[in-house]
Structure 1
Amino acid sequence: MVGTLLRDRGNEIKITERVLLAAVGNERFGLDIVELLLRERPDEVRVTERMLEIVACGHEDGDIGMLKLLLSHAGADLRITTKMVENAALNEYRGDEGYELMELFLRKRGTELRIIEDIIEAATSNEVAGGKILVLLLAQCEKEIQISERVVEGVVSGEWIVEEILEQILSRDHNKVRITERVLESVVGNARKGPEILRWFLNERGDDFYITERIMEAAARNTRSGVKVLDMLFKARSDEAEITERVLEAAAGNFEQLGDEIIKMLLEERGDEFRITEKIMRKAAGNEGSGAHIIAVLLRERGQSDEIQINERLIEAAARNRNSGDEIIDLLLQECDDKFRVTDTIAEIAAENAGCGERIAELFRVRTRR
């Protein structure tokens, strides 16, 4: 199509930046169009920074060939910008494409381009090639890279993180890189790699941090490896790993099926240190993922005590739960005494529940007929 237009109406067509931006942004035929334009109208193709920034973002069709083509045509005058490098660091297309783009940019960059925190942070968020990109940046730009708290947070949050990268980042400037509370929150909250990273921190930098309530909360919210992380904290830092109401709320709100396992673990490990408050019960009742399982555990373990009070606010929280509100209310109603009555407010909330409101209403009707 483009070739036909150039052949039939070539004198009327100007190769503007808008045309070139559209070409490099074409995910399917971009490379073919750019090759055609360079072949037919090379003098009109002026490679701009914006074009390379778009290429660096990534296409399904691949960008290495296009980037090489554009860099070759642009010559030495084109400046490699921070935005280009940052986009390459974020590029998750076609496996190692981001890594290959980064290699090209680093070879072409001038002395004025510095590898700033935003570029490192972008690499840490790349779940496909982030590890390789970070290793490349550390190898080629080590002296100019400043390891900040934000960078460390990004690294320990990644699902690709390996011990070698932790060693490179945290061991080279041991006294300069602080292990902050926010960093540890990211460590224990890492769903896939949390236990592995925490083990490294406990072994290598254990003297540099203290286990706070916020760290315990983050571990209790971990939807995939929360049980393992908490177990490690209890074993390594028993005196510091306190179970507070906020930690229990975090566990009660854990959306995945792991939530009830975490609650069971906390009850077994430290059950005599805390009470099940109304806030914890309401948090569990509103949990649309594992709420029913958590409520079942709490009622089984503490239902006979005077801790758990089944009141109007708790039933309201359950009635709003679109996924398992009916299961939770069924469990709660079985524990209620006959004096409990369904209020108009509770009935209205259930009626507005688009997920399981009808089943909740039926449970209420059965109770009313008693």
Structure 2
Amino acid sequence: MEKLLTYSGDEVKITEKVVKAAAGNRGSGKEVMALLLNQRGNAIIVTPGLVKTLVGSLNGLAMENFLTYYGDEVKITEEVVEAVVGMVGGGNEEMMALLLNQRGNAIIVTPGLVETFAGYFDALAMEKLLIYYGDEVKITEEVVKAAAGNDYEGKEIMALLLDQRGTEVKITDEVVKVAAGNEGSGREVMALLLDQRGTEVKITEEVVKAAAGNGRSGKEVMALLLDQCGDAIIVTPGLVETLAGSFDALAMEKLLICCGDEVKITEEVVKAAAGNGSSGKEVMALLFDQRGDAIIVTPGLVETLAGSFNALAMEKLLTYYGDEVKITEEVVKAATGNEYSSKEMMALLLDQRGTEVKITEEVVKAAAGNGSSGKEVMALLLDRRGTEVNY
């Protein structure tokens, strides 16, 4: 490229296509671009697409040189801002600061541009946008959602919007949901919303699901929300299921303190707790202790208890619900296949409901296939019901 410029410099025009080609040159694209700007900076045909490509391809110094030549022709569009967000290797905050400092008065404000500012940049960038363009910047629900989901500056952006444009900021269920799922700064955003707009924050099933999917700070977010108690919590079967399946016993205890009478223990709740590898047994024990009289007994619920929990949980179910609990072949198969408590579970069923327990071929197969405690449960069956065990 340097030789071409030496021999034919005046004939070389730097078009959008040339810039895109340089941007696609992974090996030496930045060097080629720097050379073109240095030697033919006055021969660039400025278009919105060219600016967008340059932003995503140049470092700060090269862009500063470009702005020196062509500042008045450069417009900061929604697409340019998105290109800054997508910069590879970092530096997007610095690039945005450069564009705002040198061309802050040349921003074409659109809803999408404001959303991108709220969701990806720091509070200083948003503050400059508000200063330059005032009422042109509309604070829509999408903008507030973007701020709530900003991984790094969510709290600061939200605080700025509440301070400067508070009457336009509506804390909808969707905003709370986005904040609950924000892994980077969700806890801080939620604390701010609860502090400044607590009466508008509703804890819905979707919010709890969002917190459950937040691997980094979901538990802290959920603790903050449940501490609010009162009418803020909208109890649904799905909300209870999600809590049982994704959070610890402390979260469930807080829900019971706030809304105990509204919490029903359904088959789906028990299945969710069964799938909670870290806290399911503690959650189930708590539910039995505090809401044992609110269990909706179904065949599936009894099977899940038999197959996934300890004998104490089953004993409580039998104590509370007696003849409502039917000991079917599926329940006995689940008990013999219980990897952690099969012997104790089976002994309980034999002791308390022995006449209903049938040792079928399928039951024996389930016991034989139990890799963790099959030997112990098979010994129990042979000892207590040996004549019924057929190999």
| TM-score normalized by the length of structure 2 | 0.65
Distance 1:329 1:75, change over 3 A: same
Deviation at 1:211, TM superposition (A): 4.7
What residue is the counterpart of 2:325 in the other structure? none
Q: Is the 8 A contact 1:90 1:123 kept in 2?
A: no
Distance 1:173 1:20, change over 3 A: closer
Q: Is the 8 A contact 1:218 1:250 kept in 2?
A: no
In the aligned structure 1, how far is the partner of 2:43 from the partner of 2:29? 17
**1:204-228, Cα deviation, whole Å (9 max, x unpaired):** 3334455545445545555444444
- Work out whether 1:294 is the aligned partner of 2:283: no
What residue is the counterpart of 1:48 in the other structure? 47
Bigger shift: residues 211-220 or 66-75: 211-220
In the aligned structure 2, how far is the partner of 1:236 from the partner of 1:3? 66
Which residue, 193, 206, 214 being the options, matches 1:201?
193
Distance 1:215 1:140, change over 3 A: same
- Work out whether 1:156 is the aligned partner of 2:148: yes
Equivalent position SS for 2:286: helix
- Work out whether 1:81 is the aligned partner of 2:90: no
Equivalent position SS for 1:362: coil
Kindly report which structure 2 residues correspond to 1:2-13, keeping only aligned pairs within 5 A, or say none.
2-3=1-2
- Work out whether 1:121 is the aligned partner of 2:115: yes
Q: Is the 8 A contact 2:75 2:108 kept in 1?
A: no
Q: CA RMSD in A?
A: 4.4
**1:99-127, Cα deviation, whole Å (9 max, x unpaired):** 32442563362xxx53222112212332x
What residue is the counterpart of 2:265 in the other structure? 276
Count of residues in Structure 1 that have an aligned counterpart in Structure 2: 330
Q: Is the 8 A contact 2:227 2:254 kept in 1?
A: no
What residue is the counterpart of 1:357 in the other structure? none
**Could you tell me which amino acid in structure 2 is paired with residue 330 of structure 1?**
E
What residue is the counterpart of 1:21 in the other structure? 20
In the aligned structure 1, how far is the partner of 2:41 from the partner of 2:236? 68
- Work out whether 1:70 is the aligned partner of 2:66: yes
In the aligned structure 1, how far is the partner of 2:179 from the partner of 2:359? 45
Deviation at 1:149, TM superposition (A): 0.6
What residue is the counterpart of 2:352 in the other structure? none
Which residue, 128, 131, 135 being the options, matches 2:123?
131
**1:170-207, Cα deviation, whole Å (9 max, x unpaired):** 34444443222212223344445444333433343334
Deviation at 1:52, TM superposition (A): 1.8
In the aligned structure 2, how far is the partner of 1:55 from the partner of 1:284? 53
Deviation at 1:133, TM superposition (A): 2.2
What residue is the counterpart of 2:316 in the other structure? none
Q: Is the 8 A contact 1:249 1:279 kept in 2?
A: yes
In the aligned structure 2, how far is the partner of 1:299 from the partner of 1:233? 22
Deviation at 1:250, TM superposition (A): 1.9
**Could you tell me which amino acid in structure 2 is paired with residue 275 of structure 1?**
K
**Could you tell me which amino acid in structure 2 is paired with residue 122 of structure 1?**
T
Higher helix share: 2
Which residue, 77, 92, 100 being the options, matches 2:97?
100
**Could you tell me which amino acid in structure 2 is paired with residue 30 of structure 1?**
G
Equivalent position SS for 2:169: coil
In the aligned structure 2, how far is the partner of 1:259 from the partner of 1:221? 14
In the aligned structure 2, how far is the partner of 1:84 from the partner of 1:341? 70
Q: Is the 8 A contact 1:187 1:194 kept in 2?
A: yes
**Could you tell me which amino acid in structure 2 is paired with residue 282 of structure 1?**
K
Q: Is the 8 A contact 1:80 1:105 kept in 2?
A: no
Q: Is the 8 A contact 1:278 1:314 kept in 2?
A: no
In the aligned structure 1, how far is the partner of 2:210 from the partner of 2:241? 11
**1:242-270, Cα deviation, whole Å (9 max, x unpaired):** 5432112222443xxx5555345545665
Q: Is the 8 A contact 1:149 1:183 kept in 2?
A: yes
Deviation at 1:72, TM superposition (A): 3.6
Q: Computing the radius of gyration over CA atoms, which structure comes out larger, 1 or 2?
A: 2
Kindly report which structure 2 residues correspond to 1:1-370, keeping only aligned pairs within 5 A, or say none.
2-3=1-2, 17-26=16-25, 29-41=28-40, 45-57=44-56, 63-74=59-70, 76-88=72-84, 91=87, 93-94=90-91, 96-104=93-101, 106-107=103-104, 109=106, 113-126=107-120, 129-161=121-153, 165-208=157-200, 210-219=202-211, 222-254=214-246, 259=248, 261-263=250-252, 265-266=254-255, 273-286=262-275, 291-302=276-287, 307=295, 309-311=301-303, 330-331=339-340, 333=342, 335=345, 337=349, 362-363=371-372, 366=375
Q: Is the 8 A contact 2:338 2:370 kept in 1?
A: no
Q: Is the 8 A contact 2:48 2:75 kept in 1?
A: yes
In the aligned structure 1, how far is the partner of 2:38 from the partner of 2:143? 43
**Could you tell me which amino acid in structure 1 is paired with residue 81 of structure 2?**
V
Q: Is the 8 A contact 2:306 2:345 kept in 1?
A: no
**1:284-329, Cα deviation, whole Å (9 max, x unpaired):** 445xxxx21232223443569684834279969xxxxxxxxxxx95
Equivalent position SS for 1:166: helix
In the aligned structure 2, how far is the partner of 1:163 from the partner of 1:198? 8
**Could you tell me which amino acid in structure 1 is paired with residue 29 of structure 2?**
G
Q: Is the 8 A contact 2:176 2:207 kept in 1?
A: yes
In the aligned structure 1, how far is the partner of 2:361 from the partner of 2:113? 57
In the aligned structure 1, how far is the partner of 2:126 from the partner of 2:86? 11
In the aligned structure 2, how far is the partner of 1:22 from the partner of 1:71? 20
What residue is the counterpart of 1:320 in the other structure? none
